Structure 1
Amino acid sequence: MSGGSGHRATGDDDWLTAVAENASRDAGGVPVELLGDYLPLLADAAVSGRRPRRSELEAVGLLGRHAAEQGVSAGKAVQLYLSAARRLWQQLPLLVRSNDGEVVRAAAEAVLYVVDDAVATLAEGYAAARRDLVRREETLRRELVDDLLRGDSDLGGLVQRAEPFGLDLTRVHQVALAAPSRRLPDTDAAISALEAVIFDRLGDRDVLVATKEGLLVVLAPADLAPADHPAASAGAAQLGQLMHAELSRLPRGRPWQVAVGRPHPGLYGIARSYEEAREALTMARRLRVHRDVVGAHNLLVYRVLLRDQPAMVDLVQAVLQPLTRARGGAEPLLATLAAYFDSGGVATAAARQLHVSVRTMTYRLDRIRTLTGYDPSDPADRFTLQAATLGAKALAWPQQPLPTV
């Protein structure tokens, strides 16, 4: 091969422009500009056998970054470069005029070296840009989620920031929180798993998956039913069960507990749903509720009871403190009351739940009536006893002393 620049040796550059445009069409309209000086490099290699310089390959890597930033897929970018190489090879003036097989072989080897180096460098640049974009998007997503859950940010600014993530802040949303049993060393796998299954079921609009304070956070669209409508409860349970089923497949973090806030409309509804989910998770831990999925609507009664803690402490003291005088203390009788209320006031069902005889159950109920002065079978007394029993559970009494009021 003769030395010199292939750019000059190939004569008129119009044919290179045609090759670039045809390669762009082959790749589905990928911008021609992403080829940069790739075609002259190939032509130069075919004529002179010159390998690309480091600066020339770095320029190709930069083009790979530009492709990623413009949203061109990696496959399309590689297709552009391979198609350009194929079309250039078919139209190289050197080959069209040459009948020397050794010249053709040497040119092919030189061109393939350039293709190999260029495509590898293009892919590396593309991958580096994608990693940067993912990190940037993750930071923006985390900041957006923090502001949405806080609920006190500028509405106009949030609407603009939410738009690239496909969020319509005028819709009804609900927030679910997933708590692992142990701190996860890496949450990427959990986020990816949740995104895959939730996007598949709900679509990728109006859904955000992120982390906050060691919890996985899912912001998802909800049915347009009011928060107190039965459909709202069903939607919350479905989202929670979907999340729990997927997270339970992960090798780390089990057992998971998921809490789901009620659906609410608008920006401030997101913050409200988050607070409900967080409170439900905290309450479930406090009450030792071991259900996989806890809905905020399931724990509303505890929120009401604990909102006025001094009154609740007074109720537990006045109604249930006498049970401490029973042989064995208050705990067996409190368990009896809880089972009795859970079974709808049916003593035989409560006895089965506690694995005791009906006679034992009846004796305990009589003992409760004698000690407290409240009859569990009387509708008026039952309400007082049940409220006090729920309050005792929320206050962890008698395992812990009642708070001083």
Structure 2
Amino acid sequence: MAATSRGITKSLLPSAKSRATIAKRLAAVTGAMTTATIAEMESRHPWFSQLGAEPRSWITLVARAGIDGFVRWFSDPDPDGPSTSEVFGSAPREMARKISLSQTVELVRTTIEVVESQIDEVMPKGDRPILHAAIDQYSREVAFAAAEIYARAAELRGSWDARLEALVVDAVLRGETDETVLSRASTLGWRSTSAVVVVVGTAPEADQAHALETIRAIAARAKVDVLGAVQGDRMVVVLGGPTLADAQEAVAVVAGFSTQFGPGPVVVGPPVEHLMEAATSTRAALSGFRAATAWPEAPRPVGSDDLLPERALSGDGHARRTLARDIYDPLVAAGSGLLETLVTFIDQGSSVEAASRALFVHANTVRYRLRRIHEVTGYSPTDPRDVYALRLALTLGRLIRPTL
């Protein structure tokens, strides 16, 4: 006698000849069982009725393959363990994308319940105990096979998504964001239509995929979209969401996952309005990342605009023009002695009293003008770091705009 199969006891297991006879009677009603299964799916599961004709045909194919496979397995002279690859092998690979794992479980459960019901209705009483025990064993194997198929599909999708995401990030970095790139980003879950920033930092030495997944989880809690990829020794993350429109808020969001980067600076580019414009944020972030070594005390993360002096000195023309445009030009336009006061204040070692004597004005006038300089430029003449940027902006402004 053949070895027993899990779920079927020796006392219930008939001879191979008896099983073949039962299987022959069972095979005669498999068509009716398949029809009953599909009818039950339609009445029990609303999602089934909403499927198109092609996915419905896949399910019919799988249900029929499952029932036929059970008959073949049961009639096998040595039922050591059912082979269920033929059940799902009959369906196209796209089925795993159109029909979820939970829906597949519902399909398996409904099919088994219908088969069990049909066994009680159409099979002789003597056949029913062994068939019920056999279908119980077979259904477990089918369920395991379904889980394995979806696990493999998820793994393949993960690998494909990672490659696609790397291509999208590379296009963003190169400033080649077109409709095709936007479509690919949408496929990866990108929904943001406002406020985009690019973040650049050192790639972690180990488990880079886990670092990116952690970043996605943290960003999701902040309601921010994420695209990320590792490029050589650096990791690039593109963020999107309305909260990022404020540069300080963007840095605060990045602070929540900055530990996922490797050692070294983490630079946040300035916010732009759309993914199509992300090249501007990318350029600033990459420039800041290269220049950050000149400011080892910089916070982590740091905004690229906070690195304007270092970027300007490292040869970034955009940084030079930004310093001249945002600091020097407004001071010239404001008049009221602000530019002269700033130059004198810095030259006098940031001493209000010394500056007031050199300018022949009251010390309070100097203090008022210093406050106005802060209001006009956003940089405080009394802050050492800001003074560094102000001094460099004055020099660059005179070089770039000598006629002002």
Secondary structure of the structure 2 residue equivalent to 1:209 = strand
What amino acid does structure 2 have at the position aligned with 1:213? G
How far apart are residue 37 of structure 1 and its match?
A: 0.9
Secondary structure of the structure 1 residue equivalent to 2:256 = helix
**Aligned residue number for residue 289 of structure 2:** 281
Residue deviations 1:32-72 (CA, integer Å, cap 9, x gap): 234351123335656788859988624424649443232x2
How far apart are residue 8 of structure 1 and its match?
A: 6.3
Q: 1:169 to 1:291 in 2, by over 3 A?
A: closer
Q: Does 1:144 align with 2:168?
A: yes
Residue deviations 1:61-115 (CA, integer Å, cap 9, x gap): 4649443232x2222212311221122102225x655333xx3332123223322
What amino acid does structure 2 have at the position aligned with 1:285? T
Secondary structure of the structure 2 residue equivalent to 1:278 = helix
1:3 to 20, 33, 56: 20
Q: Does 1:16 align with 2:34?
A: yes
Q: Does 1:81 align with 2:100?
A: no
**Contact in 2 for aligned 1:173/1:263 (Cα 8 Å):** yes
Residue deviations 1:305-364 (CA, integer Å, cap 9, x gap): 44489xx9xxxxxxxxxxxxxxxxxxxxxxxxxxxxxxxx9xxxxxxxxxxxxxxxxxxx
2:299 to 286, 291, 298: 291
Q: 1:63 to 1:127 in 2, by over 3 A?
A: farther
How far apart are residue 240 of structure 1 and its match?
A: 1.8
Distance 2:89 2:298 in 1: 53
What runs of 5+ residues in structure 2 fail to find an aligned partner? Answer: 1-17, 49-55, 321-341, 360-369, 371-380, 393-404
Secondary structure of the structure 1 residue equivalent to 2:68 = helix
Distance 1:29 1:390 in 2: 64
Q: 1:52 to 1:121 in 2, by over 3 A?
A: farther
**Contact in 2 for aligned 1:36/1:63 (Cα 8 Å):** no
How far apart are residue 133 of structure 1 and its match?
A: 1.6
**Aligned residue number for residue 279 of structure 2:** 271
Superposed, which structure 2 residues align to 1:86-101 within 5 Å? 86-92=113-119, 96-100=122-126
Q: 1:198 to 1:37 in 2, by over 3 A?
A: same
**Contact in 1 for aligned 2:195/2:274 (Cα 8 Å):** yes
1:105 to 129, 139, 152: 129
Q: Does 1:114 align with 2:138?
A: yes
**Aligned residue number for residue 239 of structure 1:** 253
Q: 1:304 to 1:56 in 2, by over 3 A?
A: closer
TM-score by structure 2 length?
Answer: 0.63
Secondary structure of the structure 2 residue equivalent to 1:237 = helix
The CA RMSD over aligned residues, in Å, is 4.2
**Contact in 2 for aligned 1:61/1:121 (Cα 8 Å):** no
**Contact in 2 for aligned 1:61/1:125 (Cα 8 Å):** no
Distance 1:275 1:199 in 2: 25
How far apart are residue 273 of structure 1 and its match?
A: 0.7
**Contact in 1 for aligned 2:295/2:310 (Cα 8 Å):** no
**Number of equivalent positions:** 313
Distance 2:386 2:131 in 1: 90
Distance 1:151 1:23 in 2: 50
1:215 to 231, 234, 238: 234
Q: 1:261 to 1:171 in 2, by over 3 A?
A: same
Q: 1:105 to 1:308 in 2, by over 3 A?
A: closer
**Aligned residue number for residue 164 of structure 1:** 187
**Contact in 2 for aligned 1:7/1:44 (Cα 8 Å):** no
Percent identity (aligned): 19
Distance 1:388 1:9 in 2: 85
What amino acid does structure 2 have at the position aligned with 1:241? A
**Contact in 2 for aligned 1:64/1:125 (Cα 8 Å):** no
What amino acid does structure 2 have at the position aligned with 1:149? L
Q: Does 1:184 align with 2:205?
A: yes
**Aligned residue number for residue 223 of structure 2:** 202
What amino acid does structure 1 have at the position aligned with 2:168? L
How far apart are residue 202 of structure 1 and its match?
A: 1.2
Superposed, which structure 2 residues align to 1:329-368 within 5 Å? none
What amino acid does structure 1 have at the position aligned with 2:284? E
What amino acid does structure 1 have at the position aligned with 2:266? V
How far apart are residue 187 of structure 1 and its match?
A: 0.9
TM-score by structure 1 length?
Answer: 0.63
What runs of 5+ residues in structure 1 fail to find an aligned partner? Answer: 226-230, 313-344, 346-372, 395-405
Distance 1:162 1:138 in 2: 12
Distance 1:304 1:37 in 2: 69
Distance 1:238 1:387 in 2: 20
**Aligned residue number for residue 175 of structure 1:** 198
How far apart are residue 145 of structure 1 and its match?
A: 0.9
How far apart are residue 147 of structure 1 and its match?
A: 0.5
**Contact in 1 for aligned 2:34/2:63 (Cα 8 Å):** no
Residue deviations 1:222-275 (CA, integer Å, cap 9, x gap): 5489xxxxx62222222222222xx36xxxx66564321101134452111122
Q: Does 1:39 align with 2:63?
A: no
What amino acid does structure 2 have at the position aligned with 1:121? A
What amino acid does structure 2 have at the position aligned with 1:108? H
Q: 1:146 to 1:14 in 2, by over 3 A?
A: same
How far apart are residue 156 of structure 1 and its match?
A: 3.2
